[in-house]
Amino acid sequence: MFRGAVPLIDEMKPIKTILSLFAVALTVSAMAQSNEMKVRMNKVGAEIQPTMYGIFIEDINFAADGGLYAELVKNRSFEFPNNPLQGWNVGGRLEVLADGPFERNPHYVRLYYPGHPHKHTGIENNGFFGIGLKQGEQYRFSVWARIPDGDAAGRLSVELINTASMDEGQAHSTAQITVGSKEWKQYEVVMTSAVTDSEATLRIFLDSPVTVDIEHVSLFPVDTWNGHKNGLRKDLAQALYDLKPGLFRFPGGCIVEGTDLETRYNWKNTVGPVENRPLNENRWQHTFRHRYYPDYFQSYGLGFYEYFLLSEEIGAEPLPIISCGLACQFQNDTPDAHVPVCELDSYIQDALDLIEFANGDVNSEWGKLRAEMGHPAPFNLKFIGIGNEQWGPEYPERLEPFIKAIRAKYPEIKIVGSSGPNSEGDQFDYLWPEMKKLGADLVDEHFYRPESWFLAQGARYDNYDRKGPKVFAGEYACHGAGKKWNHFEASLLEAAFMTTIERNADIVHMATYAPLFAHVEGWQWRPDLIWFDNLRSMKSCSWYVQKLYTQYKGTNVLTLTDMSGANVTGAEGQNGLFASSVYDSVTNQVYVKIINTSDEIQPVKVSFDGLKKNEALKGVAAVSYHSDDLDADNTLDEPEKIVPKTSDLNFEGKVLEVNVAPKTFMVYVLQK
């Protein structure tokens, strides 16, 4: 019998021995009185929006460069500002020049003959915490190159090396490139890795006495998500697809705002040929001194076109967020850090142009670029967020002109505003009415909060204003007090909290856990939904909680209460139980979610009221999510240590009686 749901009395058939009957009787008598709930079956409630459970990506924790974006070379364009050779080891004779073929990435490296036949000019890149290679897999090396003198051809040797190897040679995979043109050209070669190595190095030797210039040096796995050339890391994109998110919010987060305006995320710099997308500082390079990564930049190889495409491919509505002219307010407290309201025109134009880029006709300026990049059909953008985590009067006064301009040109686009960085308090209380006044369609709320907060928020949305904007729970995660790492109990409390999201689907239209990804060697912020190293990835317990909500999303809310008519929100007297229920009109099934956050087994009796006399529900499955070790999570070594378990639900009738194990998330699937 599965842990978590122990059928009682009438579904407990067959009970084979008197002994087991006695044991069950004992257990029941030792337990608290049954928790009675009822689900109203004769009226389906609010529609659950397709966008309800989504994902939120930000290039934090090396989520994009070094993560989802499968480029294996760091500083491929020699543009890191303090040192164009940062990330590279160099030897022999070479120099960095700045009149290259890509005006927005002008630097390149000139490799000279070292002046002696027994010397070498070579350059090595260690990637992001090493380069991850898998034995037998193909990797596409490419480089823009020329022979500046234009006489005899130059030659490059490309090697994948293992510097820790005890073999005579460190190179296990090699290729040669002949550079025969005075003009800049891209050269490409596919190499097969002879070994699996999570921390390999790419080495390039100049192999001729002829000078060769190199620029935009790149190495990608050939096997990427959906086979897109030089695209996304397959396992990480697959983990997003597997979640079946209904919404994809990008590109952040604070990087939208930038530490200063100059380094804000500028979407226009992220489209067009990758070679000419200018490098941007990553704001997370600076945010935490205790986890400082001076080599954290945004190549923008994963830009807005790629984000839109990924949204489409994982079946999620895109939700781009753009700067409202406020630099990060945590990091700037002087007004001159921000764009004055009267100078917002170019920012507003960026918003309008973005909508044109996503949806515009192929003959429009930005629609044309989208088509040239490979997607003539519109991306069918429906939502846009203006500003990330803004607060104070400086936000509404900037948001207002954006709303006016977008409404005038694109009245069908829904606009997401912000309620600031806190889940309650002065800023929050100030901004919600402001958002209502301005007519924002949705308001983004953020809460990274401890266990006590999550336990107390089971009824959060039950009494929200139904006449105002809809809610977007845009960033949330349970940050355990003194336990700020991913662990099962935190995910259990997220599951408990999500019952208030589900129950209030008439007003909550979107919710995204945050952040999404973290590299085990390069994180700045945790917990996160998915962790990875250079070769492997794992889905956290929080991922599985999200998955249970997307899998059993349903189409409409069903009213579930206790017998006094109160929602089951972990309130006093409800024994740490949180519950909600939905109906799925496609499968004609009912999903009942019950989260037992207490330390005791909780007997639960759910009556399905309002069924016709001869109608009954039939058990299909009981899905249980539990870990005996509440502080544990999945790991890269054991990625499926804690996963939901599905069992048959042996039940037919109008009253389901179950025992919900302590610290367990249950989903009961019933056929109507």
Nearest-CA neighbor of 576 among 519, 496, 494? 496
- Distance CA(639)–CA(197), nearest Å, equals 20
In the block, tokens 């069908």 appear at 412
Q: Does 237 bind ligand AHR (CB under 6 A)?
A: no
What is the nearest approach in angstroms of ligand AHR to the Cβ of residue 60? Answer: 6
Establish if 515 lies at the interface with ligand AHR (CB under 6 A): yes
483 contacts 526 by C-beta, under 8 angstroms:
no
Residue whose Cβ sits closest to ligand AHR: 253
Q: Which of 213, 210, 216, 226 is nearest to 188 (CA)?
A: 216
Q: Considering the complex, state which of residue 45 and residue 515 has its C-beta at the smaller distance from ligand AHR.
A: 515
Which residues in 437-457 are b (16+ Cβ under 10 Å) and which e? Answer: ebebbbbbbbbbbbbebbbeb
Between 525 and 625, CB nearer to ligand AHR? 525
As annotated, the active-site residues are 389
Exposed (0-12), middle (13-18) or buried (19+): which is 134, by Cβ within 10 Å? middle
Q: Which of 243, 236, 663 is nearest to 488 (CA)?
A: 663
Question: Which residue among 279, 514, 623, 669 contacts ligand AHR (CB under 6 A)?
Answer: 514
Give the nearest distance from C-beta 444 to ligand AHR in angstroms: 9
Query: Please, what is the minimum distance in Å from the beta carbon of residue 252 to ligand AHR?
Result: 5
Instruction: Give the phi and the psi of residue 257 in degrees, each rounded to 5.
Output: -85, -35
Q: Which stretch binds ligand AHR (CB under 6 A): 172-180, 184-192, 247-255, 435-443?
A: 247-255
> Which part of the chain contacts ligand AHR (CB under 6 A), choosing from 117-125, 248-256, 272-280, 548-556?
248-256
Which residue in 505, 496, 630 sits closest to 571, CA to CA? 496
State which residue, 79 or 257, has the beta carbon closest to ligand AHR. 257
Exposure of 224 in the CB half-sphere (CA atoms within 13 A): 20
Nearer to ligand AHR, 57 or 156 (CB): 57
Residue 281 interacts with ligand AHR (CB under 6 A): yes or no: no
- Between CA 370 and CA 366 the distance in angstroms is 6
| Under rule CB under 6 A, residue 252 binds ligand AHR | yes
Q: Which is nearer to ligand AHR, 221 or 318 (CB)?
A: 318
Q: Report the residue number, 154 or 385, with the smaller CB distance to ligand AHR.
A: 385
Q: Residue 30 belongs to what H/E stretch? A: helix 18-30
Q: Which of 7, 421, 554, 619 binds ligand AHR (CB under 6 A)?
A: 421
3-state secondary structure 174-231: EEEEEECCCCCEEEEEEEECCCCEEEEEEEEEECCCCCEEEEEEEEEECCCHHHCCCC
The interface mask with ligand AHR, positions 50-69, x = CB under 6 A, is --------x-x---------
Residue partners of 18: CB distance under 8 A and separation at least 6 = none
Indicate which single residue of 55, 254, 478, 568 sits in contact with ligand AHR (rule: CB under 6 A).
254
**Shortest CB 475 distance to ligand AHR, Å:** 5
CB of residue 631 vs ligand AHR: minimum separation in angstroms?
A: 22
The answer to whether the CB of 257 falls within 8 A of the CB of 328 is yes
CB of 330 to ligand AHR, least distance (A): 8
For residue 415, the minimal CB distance to ligand AHR (Å) is 18
Residue 389 in contact with ligand AHR, rule: CB under 6 A: yes
Please work out the total of residues on this chain that contact ligand AHR, with binding judged by CB under 6 A: 13
Backbone phi, psi, residue 587, to 5°: -95, -10
Q: Which stretch binds ligand AHR (CB under 6 A): 141-149, 170-178, 249-257, 658-666?
A: 249-257
Q: Both tokens of residue 503?
A: 């129950």
Distance of CA 416 to the CA centre of its chain: 18
Residue 388 found at the interface with ligand AHR (CB under 6 A):
yes
In the bound state with ligand AHR, the residue whose beta carbon lies nearer, of 252 and 480, is 252
Q: How far is the CB of 515 from ligand AHR (least distance, A)?
A: 4
Site for ligand AHR in 100-129 (CB under 6 A): none
Measured from the CB of residue 494, what is the shortest distance to ligand AHR in angstroms?
15
Under the criterion CB under 6 A, does residue 360 sit at the interface with ligand AHR? no
In the block, which residue shows the tokens 């599985």?
544
Q: What would the x/- binding string for ligand AHR be over residues 165 to 204, using CB under 6 A?
A: ----------------------------------------
- CA gap 215, 107 in Å, rounded: 7
Residues 521-550 that bind ligand AHR (CB under 6 A): 525
Q: Where are the beta strands (DSSP E) in 467-574?
A: 470-478, 508-513, 517-519, 530-532, 537-539, 556-558, 560-562
What's the rounded Cα separation, in Å, for the pair 667 and 495?
11
201, 161 in Cβ contact below 8 A?
A: yes
- 157-171 CB burial, b ≥16 within 10 A, e <16: bbbbbbeeeeeeebb
Query: Does position 444 bind ligand AHR by CB under 6 A?
Result: no
Taking the least distance from each CB to ligand AHR, the nearer of 218 and 390 is 390
Token output for 59: 């290039």
Stretch that binds ligand AHR, among 191-199, 252-260, 318-326, 640-648 (CB under 6 A): 252-260
Pick the closer one to ligand AHR by CB: 231 or 420.
420
Choice between 142 and 388, CB closer to ligand AHR:
388
Helix then strand count (H, E) for the chain reads 11, 35
475 is an interface residue for ligand AHR by CB under 6 A: yes
Closest contact distance (angstroms) between CB of 483 and ligand AHR is 18
> Would you count residue 480 as binding ligand AHR (CB under 6 A)?
no
Chain residues binding ligand AHR by CB under 6 A are: 58, 60, 252-254, 388-389, 421, 446, 475, 514-515, 525
